[in-house]
Structure 1
């Protein structure tokens, strides 16, 4: 399957400007999984800006 990086970037809410994985969802998910985190797209824009991408924050966010 071909990755559509430019199309994926249209929906990417990651605010970390120098991120080399922006639009490359497979790499992004693998990177954050190794860090026990979730990618920005799992969070609202407001929560994403805190850079707290922990699983605990995800659970808290969806429990509110």
Structure 2
């Protein structure tokens, strides 16, 4: 795992509510993880939407119509 110089600043803005997420505050790891799965990270969603843990692009698009 590499060092992230923005880790503390990222944590202040990260709205991921998944308990114990090892990628919380590590944006590059989070984006890569969700991209591999055809998903978006929590920061693309409102706090209310994020709590569903549905990270699908389809869910994101239906919420913006």
Does TM, scored on the shorter chain, surpass 0.5? yes
Q: Give the equivalent residue in structure 1 for 2:21.
A: 19
State the Cα distance separating 1:40 from its structure 2 match: 0.3
Runs of 4+ in 1 over 2 A off after TM superposition: none
Give the number of equivalent residue pairs. 62
Q: Cα 1:50–1:4, aligned 2, differ >3 Å: closer, same or farther?
A: same
Structure 2 gaps, min length 5: none
TM superposition score normalised by structure 1: 0.91
Structure 1 gaps, min length 5: none
TM superposition score normalised by structure 2: 0.90
